[in-house]
C-alpha cells in the first residue's frame, strides 16, 4: 500500500468520525503524535493526514494548538456535504437525515423543471427526448438493469430540460446531487424503490403531454405532484431500510421536506 493511499485511508477514517459526531465541532483533533501512534505511522505521514483533512474542509489549523473540528454541516459546501454523506453510512440516522435533504433538493429541482417545461416554449426536438427515453427503456427492460446507468439516463434527461429552460444554476446543483448519489450505491438503489418500468412509463406520459397542444389540466398537475411526493417517500424508506434504520422506531430524522 503506497504512502498516498495510507494518507487517504486514514484521513477518511478521521473524517468519518467527524461525520458521525465522534469528534464534535470545536473539538481539538488528535495531535500529530496521537495520529501517528494510533495508526502506526511516522509523524511526517500523520502531518500529511491532518493536512488532508484541512484540505477536505473538515478541520481548521491553529498555530501552536493543532487542528480543531469545523462545524461542517453549517459551514461546509457541496464538496464537504458529498464527503460527509459518503462517510456517514456507519451512522444510519445521520445518513438518513442527509439523504432526506439530498432527496428534497433533487425533488424540488426535478419537479420544477418538469412543470416549467410543460408550460414553456420547448426547444428540444421531441424525437431527441423520445430517443433518450427509448435508451432508458432498453436498459430498464434488460435481463439485469443497471440502476446507476438508469439514474444517469434520467438525470441526463432532466439536465437537457434545465439547459433548454436556461436554468443553469439548478442544473449545476443537480450535477452535484448526482455526484453525491453515485458515490453511495445504497442511494442509487433507493431511487428504484419502484420498478424501473414505472420510471419509463412516467417519462412516456410526460412526452405525450409535451406533444399535445392543450397540456394537462390543473387536476392532472396536482395528481402528478402528489404521485411525485409519494415516490420520493418510497425512495427515502428504501434508503433507510438499506442502511439499517429501524422502521418500527417511530422516529425519522428531520429533513427540509419531511
Tell me what pLDDT residue 249 has: 54
Domain ranges of the chain: 3-75, 79-242
The pLDDT, as a whole number, for residue 161 is: 97
Rounded Cα distance between 87 and 123, Å, is: 41
Say which residue the cell 446507476 belongs to.
148
pTM of this structure? 0.85
Cell of 88: 456517514
Q: Which long-range contacts (CB under 8 A, 24 or more apart) does 151-156 make?
A: 151/178, 151/181, 151/182, 151/188, 151/191, 151/192, 152/178, 152/182, 154/199, 154/203, 156/132
CATH code for the domain defined by 3-75 = 1.10.10.10
Q: Where are the alpha helices (H) located in 20-143, listed in sequence order?
A: 32-38, 43-56, 72-75, 78-87, 92-119, 126-140
Distance, CA of 9 to CA of 247 (rounded, Å):
32
Q: What residues contact residue 91 under an 8 Å CB cut-off, 6+ apart?
A: 19, 20, 21
* pLDDT at 213 (0 to 100): 72
110, 181 contact by CB (below 8 A): no
Q: Measured between alpha carbons, how far is 223 from 193 in angstroms, rounded to an integer?
A: 20
pLDDT tens, position by position, for the chain (258 residues)? Answer: 555 689 999 999 999 999 888 999 999 999 999 999 999 999 999 999 999 999 999 999 998 889 999 998 888 888 899 999 998 888 899 899 999 999 999 999 999 999 999 988 889 999 999 999 999 999 999 999 999 999 999 999 999 999 999 999 999 999 999 999 999 999 999 999 999 999 999 999 999 988 887 778 888 889 999 999 999 999 999 999 999 987 665 455 444 433
To which CATH superfamily is domain 79-242 assigned? GntR ligand-binding domain-like (1.20.120.530)
Amino acid at each position: 500500500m503506497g504512502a498516498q493511499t495510507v494518507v487517504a485511508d486514514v484521513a477518511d477514517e478521521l473524517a468519518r468520525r467527524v461525520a458521525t459526531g465522534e469528534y464534535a465541532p470545536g473539538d481539538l483533533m488528535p495531535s500529530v503524535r496521537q495520529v501517528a501512534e494510533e495508526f502506526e505511522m511516522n509523524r511526517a505521514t500523520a502531518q500529511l493526514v491532518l493536512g488532508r483533512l484541512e484540505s477536505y474542509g473538515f478541520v481548521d489549523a491553529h498555530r501552536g494548538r493543532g487542528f480543531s473540528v469545523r462545524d461542517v454541516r453549517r459551514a461546509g459546501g457541496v464538496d464537504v456535504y458529498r464527503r460527509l454523506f459518503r462517510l456517514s453510512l456507519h451512522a444510519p440516522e445521520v445518513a438518513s437525515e442527509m439523504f432526506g435533504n439530498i432527496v428534497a433538493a433533487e425533488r424540488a429541482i426535478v419537479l420544477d423543471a418538469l412543470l416549467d417545461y410543460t408550460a414553456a416554449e420547448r426547444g428540444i426536438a421531441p424525437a431527441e427526448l423520445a430517443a433518450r427515453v427509448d435508451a432508458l427503456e432498453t436498459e430498464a427492460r434488460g435481463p439485469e438493469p443497471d440502476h446507476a446507468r438508469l439514474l444517469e439516463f434520467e438525470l441526463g434527461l432532466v439536465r437537457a430540460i434545465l439547459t433548454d429552460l436556461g436554468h443553469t444554476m439548478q442544473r449545476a446543483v443537480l450535477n452535484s446531487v448526482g455526484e453525491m448519489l453515485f458515490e453511495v450505491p445504497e442511494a442509487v438503489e433507493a431511487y428504484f424503490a419502484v420498478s424501473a418500468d414505472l420510471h419509463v412509463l412516467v417519462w412516456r406520459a410526460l412526452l405525450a403531454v409535451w406533444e399535445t397542444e392543450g397540456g394537462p389540466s390543473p387536476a392532472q398537475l396536482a395528481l402528478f405532484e402528489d404521485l411525485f411526493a409519494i415516490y420520493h417517500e418510497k425512495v427515502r424508506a428504501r434508503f433507510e431500510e438499506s442502511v439499517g434504520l429501524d422502521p418500527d422506531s417511530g422516529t425519522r430524522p428531520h429533513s427540509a421536506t419531511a
